[in-house]
Amino acid sequence: MTDNIILRCEGVNKLYKQGEETIYALRDVSMTVRRGEFLVLYGRSGSGKSTLLNVLSGFDTPTAGKVHIDGQDMEGMNDRQRAKLRNEKIGFVFQSYHLLPILTARENILSPLLIGKRPIDEGYFRDLCETLGITSRLEHLPSELSGGECQRVAVARAMIGRPAVLFADEPTGNLDKRSAGELIRLLKQAHEVYGQTIVMVTHDETLLEYGDRVYRMENGTPVLV
Amino acid sequence: MEKSYIRFYALREMRARPRTFLPLFAIFFGVMLLMGNLLIYAQCQLTSDIAYYKVETQLILPDLTEEEVFLLRQMDFVRQAEAVETDRYTYTCYVELTEDVNTRVYAISDSLLEIIDRLGLDDRSDPYIHFLYWYHDQQTGPSEAIDRSRLFNGRYMNALRDGMFQPATISLACIAALMLFAVVVLVYRMKIEQAAKEYACLVGMGMSLRDLGKIQYLQGFLLLTAAFVPSQLLAIGTMKIVSLLSFRLYPEFDGNQALLFSVPWSTLGILYLLYLCAMLLGTRLCLAPYRTKSISAILSGSADKIPYVAKSSVKFLSRGNFDRYGNVWKQRNRRNVLPVMVLFFCLILFPAFLFGAFLGGIFDVRDALTDTGSRAVVQLHAYGISGDGYKGVPYTVIRELASLPDVDDVRFSYDYKVKGMTTLADQAGGYTPVNTSGGAVDCQQYMVTSFAGERPDTGEVWVCPDFPAEVGDTVTLRQNGKTVDMVIGKKHPGLTMRIPAYDKTRRIYEIAFDETLYPALYGEAPVMLSGYISICSSVPDGEIPALLQKIAVLTGDTKVYLNDHDRFLHGTIERSYLLENSFYQNRIGTIHSAFLCLFFLVQTLYLMLCAASVIGSTISFQLHRRRAEFAVLRALGLENTAIHALAASYTGLLFRWVIPVLYPVLVLFLYFGNPDAGIRTNDFGEKVIGALPTLYYGLGAYAVTCTVLYLLYGGTARYTSARSAGQMLSVPLAVSVKERE
């Protein structure tokens, strides 16, 4: 059972100081994510869900506590080791896409492999693009794509390296209802077809049904729903 | 796709963001052109001087013993060494080097260094230093009677020193690197702030900070190389053209070009390496703040500094009027004052300062080409007042020279130095060379030289610090049976004591005294003045020979010697002085400096245009960074004219801070840095009087340059602001608002 755990955090706290005031974004968070699981973090704005996602993905460091991804403790890693971990084990989908504006969709998708100097699996790349419906848009710059297309490119970029965990921070936040529905179905499809572990943050209650497990964030603490 | 993602991304970014990289390129180009040219100038000035005086290559090595002359002749790079006895124990040696050494300037310097080293001449360097200082500031040219050999020696001592240390080159290179470093830090910081989210995204995908730094460094390297090569080629080409032009214009100088030029490859190499180091450090420094920030903070924008909004918000909102948004802009502009000042200083004001400083070059060129304002200066060299007699130019003759109709002015030196020599054996025998009760210094050897413009008072002597008597003591000098008592007025550090190599028991003390000593020692004989006597005249070029003839008749000179070598070896030393026509050398010196001034003037004008393009690009870049903000303001109902006003407010920096504040500071710097005036002068009166021309000049240059700056830079700034605002307003509002993300 222990081998099946892909992500584990223990006693994670995150504090912010604003002048004299201390804000507890995360309070003693301990949780695990199993391999192949679709986990949804749900909560109101300011409840700490995005902060938790950033800490779990290594984009931010906890004030206290430990985070293990695929058996590797992120604490004490140097810049190079952290970069390697992010490149190989983590994929991230942002709410506002954050595609690199000077690169085409194809170049954006392949960036993680090129950064990590890993070989490109052309078959997987084609399948992924077909699945996400962006094959015809690969040579376009982000500025020439719609919001939904941008987010699908971002999903493809996050998945191209077959990461251990795919983190998605409000991936549908900038999309209309139809595009949002399409995207979440694609994510679910990727989860089922490729066995991708996904940790998704959302405030949209209609998306909760897609999660294998759902946590609700309350004042910096996740509560299993 | 490229194999190396770092290279791929760096190139793609440069191609995709011309608005960001074009100003960078222009800045680098400008800085390197300017500072590179100054370096080239420093280097080629040295090379030019040395190459010029390599004519009739000879080294003159005075004060050698017979044994040393023998050793000298054994050296492999010495083809011939002709020794002339100058004293009972010393020889002056005229050295011809072998041909392979003789053709290369630095090889000759090295040979001289080796000679000094092998013969151990370091401890008796005073003759060399003497030559060095005596001739250091003399302008020389290829006229027939130039004392080349002595100059040659002095110049080679210069070359030797500069070749070893090259302080001008090193300091200029450091200034250039510092300027580049400042520009890199300022501009790259701006660039990295702009692309911070993209870089955070790259890091999020697994790129290490080290690799991110490599992207920045690679871009810097490409920009540097792209700027360095054409700018230096341009500089070298211009220099070469000026050199050729000067040769074509003045062929009468028979192969002696007004400006010799050779490409200083080693200096360029050092400069390039220094720039690379500055670039590396600059990019590292710019990325350093991001090492402590988390990716999420950068992506969310919470890492951005926006204090100006917080500061201005109260004032802004309290008015309840969106027109007050201009307050925010004013605060933003104030935030930009420091970096903009540094940027403008590096690239704009410095060239502007040079522009002002070299305006005079135009007039120099005109004078040099039209021969108006040039003066003929004939120099009379009176050599050798020796212990066997006295020689020089009688003072009465100098008065007659001054009364010649074509002569405007006669200048000469009053200062003398004498070497009193004695032996320890004499002291042991009870003979006291110097004492306070009528003892004497046996003056066996005299040496006359100019002495830094100072001279002792009548009846007073200055002695070297090692002299065995104190200030206030009396020294008795004896010559031809006559004695003169003189009081020691000062122990002057410029005078030295040395022990001759041929007789270690002797001490030679240098003593300086005034011209009254001579009549006192030599009785009724007229006062003889020795050293340089300059006769200035405004006669036209063609009448110089006639003037020379008149002077020759007055002084009784029947022969003009080409140099010391001729004088010693072939001349009969009936009269120990030398006539020299300095007219050509002065003229060629003027032409030389005029061409350089012109060169700098052209370069500076080019730089000012370059700077104007940078101003335009920078303003355009800054305004386009805020285009989404403008779009929101438009959406909120702000009129187009207000957008224009906000855009134009950026240019206010130029007019309110940079030109009125920084330029006067630069002019003051010029005033205080002037060696002939300002704080570096010791005498207070000279400080005030000497400062006036500089101040007048500074004010004039300030007025002219400010006008140019306002027209060129102010016009560029206003044009760019209006154009950028117009472009932004021409985009449909819906598209502008979408660009916000």
pLDDT tens-place string over residues A156-174: 999 999 999 999 988 888 7
Write out B33-78 in H/E/C secondary structure.
Answer: HHHHHHHHHHHHHHHHHHHHCCCCCCEEEEEECHHHHHHHHHCCCE
The CA distance from A185 to B424, in Å, is 111
Residue B669 within a domain: no
Domains and CATH numbers, chain A: 35-63+76-224 (3.40.50.300)
The CA distance from B535 to B375, in Å, is 10
Residue B194 within a domain: yes
Count of structural domains, chain B: 3
Length of chain A: 225
Say yes or no: B100 and B223 in one domain. Answer: no
Nearest to A102 among B12, B210, B297 (CB): B12
Per-residue burial over B66-99, b = 16 or more CB atoms within 10 Å of its CB, e = otherwise: eebbebbeebebbeebbbeebeeebbbbbbebee
Say yes or no: B35 and B61 in one domain. Answer: no
Say yes or no: B403 and B458 in one domain. Answer: yes
Say yes or no: B435 and B504 in one domain. Answer: yes
Interfacial residues of A (vs B; Cβ cutoff 8 Å): 50-51, 54, 59-61, 79-80, 82-88, 90, 92, 94, 96, 98, 100-103, 107, 110-112, 114-117, 157
Q: What integer is the mean pLDDT of B681-704?
A: 55
The CA distance from B700 to B709, in Å, is 14
**Which CATH number fits the domain that encloses residue B101?**
3.30.70
**A188 or B265, greater pLDDT:** A188
Task: State yes or no: pLDDT of B27 exceeds 90.
Answer: no
Q: Specify the range with the lowest mean pLDDT, choosing from A86-90, B64-68, B267-271, B682-686.
A: B682-686
Question: Do B205 and A87 count as a contact with CB atoms less than 8 A apart?
Answer: yes
Nearest-neighbour CA in chain B from A213: distance (Å): 25
Q: Specify the range with the lowest mean pLDDT, choosing from A27-36, A133-142, B19-28, B387-396.
A: B387-396
**B719 or B667, greater pLDDT:** B719
**Residue-wise pLDDT tens digits, B320-379:** 444 555 666 666 666 666 666 666 666 666 666 665 555 544 444 444 444 444 445 555
Question: Do B208 and A80 count as a contact with CB atoms less than 8 A apart?
Answer: yes
Question: Do A115 and B206 count as a contact with CB atoms less than 8 A apart?
Answer: yes
Task: State yes or no: pLDDT of A19 exceeds 70.
Answer: yes
Q: Which residue has the tokens 């006008």?
A: B707
Task: State yes or no: pLDDT of A138 exceeds 90.
Answer: yes
Q: What tokens were used for B208?
A: 């290490």
Question: Do B198 and A87 count as a contact with CB atoms less than 8 A apart?
Answer: no
**A212 or B620, greater pLDDT:** A212
Instruction: Give the DSSP letter of residue A103.
Output: S
Q: What integer is the mean pLDDT of B43-69?
A: 58
Nearest CA in chain A to B8: A114
Question: Do A100 and B297 count as a contact with CB atoms less than 8 A apart?
Answer: no
Task: State yes or no: pLDDT of B24 exceeds 90.
Answer: no
Give the pLDDT band (50/70/90) at residue B701. Answer: low
Say yes or no: B6 and B93 in one domain. Answer: no
Question: Do A116 and B206 count as a contact with CB atoms less than 8 A apart?
Answer: yes
> How far is CA B739 from each of CA B76, B625, B677, B728, rounded to the nearest angstrom?
77, 11, 58, 11
- Crossing angle of the two packed helices B167-194 and B337-344, in degrees rounded to 10: 140
Last residue of one domain, picked from the residues B262, B283, B304 = B304
Q: Which amino acid appears at position B370 of this protein? A: T
Say yes or no: B66 and B20 in one domain. Answer: no
Q: Exposed/middle/buried for B429, CB within 10 Å: 0-12, 13-18, 19+?
A: exposed
**What pLDDT score was predicted for residue B417?**
41
**Residue-wise pLDDT tens digits, B251-260:** 544 334 345 5
Q: What integer is the mean pLDDT of B691-715?
A: 68
Give the pLDDT band (50/70/90) at residue B568. Answer: very low
Say yes or no: B45 and B71 in one domain. Answer: no
Say yes or no: B543 and B567 in one domain. Answer: yes
**What pLDDT score was predicted for residue B414?**
39
Nearest to B205 among A102, A107, A115 (CB): A115
The CA distance from B317 to B322, in Å, is 8
**Residue-wise pLDDT tens digits, B412-455:** 543 344 444 444 444 444 443 433 223 334 433 333 333 445 66
Give the pLDDT band (50/70/90) at residue B388. Answer: very low
Say yes or no: B96 and B35 in one domain. Answer: no
**What pLDDT score was predicted for residue B571?**
37
Measured between beta carbons, which residues in chain B are less than 8 angstroms from residue A151? none
Nearest CA in chain A to B300: A96
Measured between beta carbons, which residues in chain B are less than 8 angstroms from residue A84? 206
Q: Domain range spanning residue B93? A: 54-139
The CA distance from B376 to B380, in Å, is 13
Task: State yes or no: pLDDT of B177 exceeds 70.
Answer: yes
Residue B11 within a domain: yes
Give the pLDDT band (50/70/90) at residue B739. Answer: low
Q: Specify the range with the lowest mean pLDDT, choosing from B15-24, B107-116, B407-416, B542-551.
A: B407-416
Q: What is the maximum alpha-carbon separation in chain A? A: 55
Nearest partner of B245 among B574, B689, B599, judged by Cα: B599
**Range from A100-114, B387-401, B466-480, B702-716 that averages highest in pLDDT:** A100-114
Question: Do B5 and A112 count as a contact with CB atoms less than 8 A apart?
Answer: no
Question: Do B205 and A112 count as a contact with CB atoms less than 8 A apart?
Answer: yes
**What pLDDT score was predicted for residue A46?**
83
Residue B735 within a domain: no
Q: What integer is the mean pLDDT of B663-687?
A: 52
CB neighbour list of residue B481: distance below 8 Å, 6 or more residues apart? none
Give the pLDDT band (50/70/90) at residue B467. Answer: confident
Average pLDDT, chain B: 63
**Residue-wise pLDDT tens digits, A79-102:** 788 888 888 999 999 888 888 888
CB neighbour list of residue B233: distance below 8 Å, 6 or more residues apart? none
Interface mutation target, options B205, B210, B291, B738, chain A, most CBs of A under 10 Å: B205
Task: State yes or no: pLDDT of A220 exceeds 50.
Answer: yes
Residue B33 within a domain: yes
Measured between beta carbons, which residues in chain A are less than 8 angstroms from residue B16? 101-102
The alpha carbon of residue B462 and the mean position of all alpha carbons in its chain are separated, in whole angstroms, by: 34
Say yes or no: B125 and B186 in one domain. Answer: no
Q: Which residue has the tokens 């004052």?
A: B337
**What pLDDT score was predicted for residue B306?**
41
Nearest CA in chain B to A78: B208
Q: What integer is the mean pLDDT of B207-214?
A: 87
Interface A-B, measured as beta-carbon pairs within 8 A, has a size of 79
**What pLDDT score was predicted for residue B133?**
36
Is residue B523 within 8 Å of B372, Cβ to Cβ?
A: no
Last residue of one domain, picked from the residues B560, B582, B604 = B582
Task: State yes or no: pLDDT of B531 exceeds 80.
Answer: no
Residue B603 within a domain: no
Nearest CA in chain B to A116: B206
Residue B591 within a domain: no
Task: State yes or no: pLDDT of A117 exceeds 80.
Answer: yes
**Residue-wise pLDDT tens digits, B576-609:** 344 444 444 445 555 556 566 666 666 667 777 7
Measured between beta carbons, which residues in chain B are less than 8 angstroms from residue A59? 204, 294-296, 299
**B641 or A42, greater pLDDT:** A42
Q: Per DSSP, what are the bridge partners of residue B20?
A: none
Task: State yes or no: pLDDT of B382 exceeds 60.
Answer: no
Residue B104 within a domain: yes
The CA distance from A139 to B614, in Å, is 34
The CA distance from A37 to B518, in Å, is 112
Say yes or no: B499 and B538 in one domain. Answer: yes
**What pLDDT score was predicted for residue B454?**
61
Last residue of one domain, picked from the residues B123, B139, B155 = B139
The CA distance from B741 to B734, in Å, is 13
Q: Roughly how many angstroms between the first and final C-alpha of chain B, as a whole number?
A: 27
Say yes or no: B520 and B384 in one domain. Answer: yes
**What pLDDT score was predicted for residue A40?**
93
Question: Do A98 and B201 count as a contact with CB atoms less than 8 A apart?
Answer: yes
Task: State yes or no: pLDDT of A120 exceeds 50.
Answer: yes
**Range from A95-109, B681-695, B723-737 that averages highest in pLDDT:** A95-109
